[in-house]
Amino acid sequence: MNSPKPPFPASLNSLDDLIAAGLAPADQAQDLAQVAERFRIRITSEMAGVASAAVAAQFLPDAQELNIRPEEMADPIGDTAHSPTYGLTHRYPDRVILAATHACEVYCRFCFRREVVGANAALPADDMSAALDYIAATPAIWEVILTGGDPMSLSPRRIESIMARLSDIPHVQIVRLHTRVPVVAPQRIDAAMIAALRARPTVYVGVHTNHADELTPAARAALRRIADAGIPMVSQTVLLRGVNDNAATLETLFRALLTLRVQPYYLHHCDLAQGTSHFRTTIAAGQAIMAQLRGRMSGMGVPTYVLDIPGGFGKVPIGPDYLQQGAAGYVVTDWQGNQHIYRDPE
Ligand code: SF4
């Protein structure tokens, strides 16, 4: 990591804030104003203070976002196609996504929900009640995933009250919070937040982080506080061109996460959100990186590379494939690229 920058305000929420802080070039103000009109801007002081191009690219607006390609969509993973009540997505039988808030501590420039984040803050009480009633009336729902928006941008009191409602529903066994907060706003992980997370039912935290430069000393301390509270953590990372699209960068991130007791879980292929083509790699490039990772580190640190099929058809692993059916049996490729034959017993 490079040396830190001087302190910034707690949160920078507009293009003017960024220009005043020297984080956006004044001579591009006209183009960037068009970006800001379309997609919200916010960066925390924690991330603004990291002198890293890989971090800046994720949060600072770029005129390339004005390039909306025909294949890009407002709702690339099809949340609304599977929404029984406002704020709830029920795509798979055993789990739902509950968008408890549309607010985030940062607005990531590649976000697949960039058209909706920041629109209204917390889910209105009536919609929250309707969502919880639906969950209570649907016994197949075993897991509730709080996302949004970033659920940890809510107050601990609000999180605790959602947890309390969910703990009254016997078939809900797991609650997972997907969040950027421990990394981008680590000061929010205080005793009250930990207490809210320790409520029943079993809670997992899914930490979104894309580069080891994000893991500041304060972020690492926040992750340790969560782990020390006995709350299991997994990570999700988005594969981003120019940010983390090489095996060495991802290896550094995944090794750091393992030492912080965060299990690397998903590497997402960058979704077809509008104005994000400059971040997107090819799937072949992603598979090549995954193949290199497999040889460089233990399987414990290698996440599953996944694609959310555009249109709302769900998430699938996208390789690389190590096993193919051949005439003489299976052809298995090892981590060095050598092929071997494996036959099932008769
Ligand atoms: S924190 Fe998550 S939901 Fe919010 S803008 Fe970033 S990627 Fe999107």
Active site residue 270: no
Q: Who wins on pLDDT, 119 or 20?
A: 20
3 state DSSP class of 258: helix
Please state, in angstroms and as integers, the Cα–Cα distance from residue 119 to each residue in 176, 208, 275, following that order. 23, 21, 18
Query: Does residue 245 carry a catalytic annotation?
Result: no
Residue 251 lies in a domain: yes
The pLDDT of residue 145 is above 90: yes
Cβ 211 vs Cβ 174: under 8 Å:
no
| pLDDT attached to residue 120 | 67
Mark whether 114 is an active-site residue.
Answer: no
Q: Compute the distance between CA of residue 51 and CA of residue 48 in angstroms, rounded to an integer.
A: 8
Q: What is the domain-level CATH number for residue 190?
A: 3.20.20.70
Q: Which of 46, 107, 266, 276 to mutate to test the pocket of ligand 1 (most atoms within 8 A of CB)?
A: 107
For the four alpha carbons of 33, 37, 40 and 44, in that order, the dihedral sign comes to positive
Q: What is the CA radius of gyration of the chain?
A: 21
Q: How remote is the CA of residue 251 from the centroid of ligand 1, in Å?
A: 23
Is 154 inside any structural domain?
A: yes
Instruction: Please tell me the predicted confidence (pLDDT) of residue 127.
Output: 95
Q: Which of the following is catalytic: 17, 40, 79, 91?
A: 91
Does the pLDDT at position 68 exceed 80? yes
What is the DSSP code string of 177-218?
Answer: EEESHHHHSGGG-SHHHHHHHTSSSEEEEEEE---GGG--HH
For residues 203-226, give the mean pLDDT. Answer: 98
For 8, 52, 109, 297, the CA distances from 5, given in Å and listed in that order, are 8, 10, 21, 33
Q: Note whether residue 164 is domain-resident.
A: yes
> Is 113 considered catalytic here?
yes
Q: Cis ω on the peptide bond leading into residue 312 (within 30° of 0)?
A: no
Ranges assigned E (strand) in the chain = 11-12, 43-44, 88-92, 95-99, 143-147, 174-179, 202-208, 233-238, 262-268, 304-308, 315-317, 323-326, 329-333, 339-342
What CA–CA distances, in Å, run from 102 to 38, 87, 121, 186, 216?
A: 16, 9, 5, 19, 25
In a domain, 173, yes or no: yes
User: Which residue, among 314, 260, 338, has the nearest Cα to 81 in the 3D structure?
Assistant: 314
The pLDDT value given to residue 158: 94
- Percent of the chain beyond pLDDT 90? 85
pLDDT value, residue 10 = 81
What's the pLDDT band for 82 if we cut at 50, 70, 90?
Answer: confident
Report which of 121, 115, 199 is spatially closest to residue 156, judged by C-alpha positions.
199
Is 52 a domain residue? no
Asked if residue 274 belongs to a domain, the reply is: yes
What torsion, rounded to 10 degrees, do the Cα atoms 40, 43, 44, 48 define? -170
- Report pLDDT for 244: 98
- Kind plus residue range of the DSSP H or E element containing 163: helix 156-167
Residues with CB under 6 A from ligand 1: 104, 106-108, 111, 113, 117, 148-150, 180, 208
Ramachandran angles phi, psi of 68, nearest 5°: -95, 120
Contact 40, 107 (CB under 8 A): yes
Res. 264 pLDDT band, cuts 50 70 90:
very high
Is 180 within 8 Å of 106 (Cβ atoms)? Answer: yes
Question: Residue 112 Cα, ligand 1 centroid: separation in angstroms?
Answer: 8
Tell me whether residue 39 is in a domain: no
Query: From ligand 1's centre to the CA of 150, what distance in Å?
Result: 7
Domain extent, residue 164, equals 80-320
Would the pLDDT of 5 be above 90?
A: no
pLDDT for 79 beyond 90:
no
| Whether 305 is catalytic | no
Q: Structural domain tally of the chain? A: 1
- Answer yes or no: are the C-beta atoms of 163 and 175 closer than 8 Å: yes
Whole-number Å distance between alpha carbons of 47 and 11 = 10
Q: Is 38 a catalytic residue?
A: no
332 alpha carbon – ligand 1 mean position (Å): 38
Under the banding of pLDDT at 50, 70 and 90, the label for residue 346 is: confident
Question: Going by C-beta distance under 8 Å and a sequence separation of 6 or more, which residues neighbour residue 323?
Answer: 330, 331, 332, 333, 342
**Residue 80: pLDDT band with limits 50, 70, 90:** confident
- Residue 262 CA to residue 255 CA, distance in Å, equals 10
Residue tagged active-site, from 95, 224, 241, 261: 95
Does residue 280 sit within a domain? yes
